[in-house]
Amino acid sequence: MKRTVSRSTLKGLVRRHKPHLRMTANIDLLVHLNFLLFLHRLAEETRTKAIADKSKIIKYEHVLTSAKIILKKSRG
């Protein structure tokens, strides 16, 4: 996996937003995996929306409505 952001920069960003959290050494991998899971959920939800609209092509509107739903679910 090629890193575009160094581990120390990523730790600094997380520490600035959530200073009370304890972080593991492999936080960059966990952030990357979390991002991939989010994209997977977004793709599945978008495909479901397109099928519900009886569309063979995934359009921008499908992605936009799916993104709102997925962001609400992933806020935690």
Q: How far apart are alpha carbons 59 and 66 in whole angstroms?
A: 11
What's residue 76's pLDDT? 62
Q: What sections of 1-76 are H helices per DSSP?
A: 7-17, 27-52, 60-73
Rounded to two decimals, the pTM is 0.76
What's 41's domain CATH number? 1.10.20.10
1-54: pLDDT as tens digits: 676 778 888 888 889 998 998 888 888 888 889 999 999 999 999 999 999 999
Alpha-carbon distances of 53 from 1, 26, 42, 49, 69, rounded to whole Å: 37, 41, 17, 6, 16
Asked, for residue 2, whether it belongs to a domain, the answer is no
**Count of structural domains, the chain:** 1
The token duo for 74 is 């992933």
The token duo for 56 is 């063979």
Domain containing 32: what range? 7-73
Cβ neighbour number for residue 66 with a 10 Å cutoff: 21
What's residue 27's pLDDT? 84
